[in-house]
Amino acid sequence: MKRYVFDANALIALLQDEPGAEKVADVLNSAYKGESEIIMHKANFLEVYYDAYRYRGKEQADLMWAEVKNAQFKSMIR
């Protein structure tokens, strides 16, 4: 099984539809299917949360946090 290590820039690229967003989406889909694993430190995810909070507001940041905390993404938060 492939393992990917994400930093904050990976999810920020996805959320803001920046270059590389498609690759990040592909890796997330692969992990969702059980074909790979994603590892991301909590500190990096909190950086993503802060970025979403700053540019999109608390409600959107909280929605994003809830989605990532779903069972399908639990392997990301370490």
CATH superfamily of 2-76: 5'-nuclease (3.40.50.1010)
pTM: 0.74
DSSP codes, 23-75? HHHHHHHHHHTTSEEEEB-HHHHHHHHHHHHHHH-HHHHHHHHHHHHSGGGGG
- For the stretch 9-46, pLDDT in tens is 998 888 888 999 899 889 888 888 889 888 888 888 88
End-to-end CA distance of the chain: 18
pLDDT more than 70, % of the chain: 86
Q: Is the pLDDT of residue 71 over 50?
A: no
Beta bridge partner(s), residue 38: 4
